[in-house]
């Protein structure tokens, strides 16, 4: 069993994709840094009609990392109103956490 932590930013009103280039760059940089340090960290932007979400999966329970301060500074610079959920633990077999399914298509 492995424990990962998930939390999300919600931005209302939703932001156009083109406005989030720096946010996307910050997420990519942190994902690469985590991989290089043998840590688990991933962020994904989800664009929806009513809100934009940034979903984070991490091997640590906190959100006080430098990346969170950088993300929040960029969102503030964009004058984007946002909320952040508390991290929630996700516990399960490692294969389940990587989206492996019986038919191998990730669904």
Tens of pLDDT, residue by residue over 46-68, are 999 999 999 999 998 887 679 99
Neighbours of 34 (CB within 10 A): 19
Which pLDDT score is estimated for 25?
98
pLDDT of residue 95: 56
Domain ranges of the chain: 2-97
Yes or no: domain 2-97 corresponds to CATH 3.30.310.80: no
pLDDT of residue 93: 67
For the chain, residues with pLDDT lower than 70 are 64, 93-107
Report the C-alpha gap between 53 and 45 in whole angstroms: 6
pTM listed for this prediction: 0.82
């Amino acid at each position: 069993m492995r424990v990962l932590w998930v939390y999300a930013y919600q931005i209302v009103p939703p932001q156009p994709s083109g406005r989030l280039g720096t946010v996307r760059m910050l997420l990519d940089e942190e994902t690469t840094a985590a991989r290089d340090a043998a840590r688990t960290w991933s962020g994904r932007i989800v664009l929806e009609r009513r809100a934009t979400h940034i979903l984070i999966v991490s091997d640590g329970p906190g959100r006080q990392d430098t990346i969170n301060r950088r993300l929040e500074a960029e969102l503030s610079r964009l004058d984007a109103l946002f909320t952040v959920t508390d991290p929630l633990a996700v516990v399960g077999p490692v294969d389940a956490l990587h989206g492996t399914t019986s038919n191998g298509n990730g669904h």
